[in-house]
Amino acid sequence: MPVLLLRLRGPMQSWGIESRFTHRDTAREPSKSGVVGLLGAALGMRRDDRTMIECLAGLRMGVRVDREGQFASDFHTAGGGAIEGRPHGVARADGSGGAVVVSRRDYLQDADFLVALATPETALLHRLDRALAAPAYPLCLGRRGFMATLPLCLGTVDTELVEVLEQWPWQARPGESPPAEGLRLVLELAAGATPGPEELCETRWDVPVCFSHEEREYRQRRVLTRWIPVPVPPTRPTPDTARRRGW
């Protein structure tokens, strides 16, 4: 099955899955809704385009955590003071006057993820590959202010999703050693699949149905977590292997 590969890394990322009101959380790796939103931005998709959202949400997703990143949190204040002599604040849900709102925002610093998206529809992956190279809207890592480090798209490969995540070479920084504990994989379970006895399986409500502010809706999926040895490239890869895998 063909697989589209993305490299999601940048100074800051945030992949909220349980954000409510004044607390904007982040998962430890990219969420399904966040990746679908990124792909939709590349395509110029409308927030209420349920057909396209369903198409993108149907891609099976796997994430390899190449660098966990550092968790951080800060606070934002909206409202307060005055504009042109009138009090300024955030409108309440009942439409009454404004208020000062302090919210907490969580994010990841210096994280690095390899994301694989699989589907039998090769034409869709090629369309996404082209769109990511020339996106309709800016591409962000979970929040509008968190820009991705380019190149974001690594192209398509014709192999199994798990296989490519296990074999794609880990990229070391100068002087950096591979993590002794290996790399963490977060894999979306296919329908009817059963996790192994030592694999952690959990349910997440991060599959988008609609992004519209008025009709925002999500459904659940099952994901499992496993650890793999760090895949390192051979010292002298053959030209064919290097070209095919982007080394």
Can you give the CATH number for the domain in which 48 is found?
Answer: 3.30.70.2660
Please state whether the peptide bond connecting residue 151 to the residue before it is cis, i.e. omega within 30 degrees of 0.
yes
**Would you give the distance in Å from CA 118 to the centre of its chain?**
15
pLDDT digits (tens, 9 = 90+) for 58-71: 999 999 999 999 99
Predicted pLDDT at 198: 66
DSSP state of 172: P
Q: Is the residue at 99 inside a domain?
A: no
DSSP state of 166: H
- Confirm if 75 and 105 have CB atoms less than 8 A apart: yes
R_g of the chain, CA atoms, integer Å: 20
How far is 198 from 2, CA to CA, in rounded Å? 28
Q: How many domains does the chain have?
A: 1
Predicted pLDDT at 242: 45
Predicted pLDDT at 244: 52
First to last CA, the chain: 22
Q: Is the residue at 57 inside a domain?
A: yes
DSSP state of 33: H
Predicted pLDDT at 79: 78
Instruction: Supply the range of the domain harboring residue 46.
Output: 2-73+107-245
Residue 75 forms beta bridges with which residues?
104
Provide the pairing of β-strand 23-24 with 101-109: parallel
Q: Is the residue at 92 inside a domain?
A: no
How far is 240 from 207, CA to CA, in rounded Å? 37
Q: Is the residue at 53 inside a domain?
A: yes
- Residue reference for tokens 């650890």: 227
Q: Is the residue at 166 inside a domain?
A: yes
Q: Is the residue at 31 inside a domain?
A: yes
- Confirm if 89 and 97 have CB atoms less than 8 A apart: yes
Q: Is the residue at 189 inside a domain?
A: yes
Predicted pLDDT at 13: 96
How far is 143 from 145, CA to CA, in rounded Å? 6
Predicted pLDDT at 85: 78
Of the CA atoms within 13 Å of residue 205, those in its CB half-sphere come to: 6
At 59, the amino acid letter reads L
Phi, psi of 11 (to 5 degrees): -60, -40
Nearest to 66 by CA among 113, 31, 22, 103: 113
Residues in the chain with pLDDT < 50? Answer: 236-239, 241-243, 247
Q: Is the residue at 78 inside a domain?
A: no
Tokens of 175: 């002087």
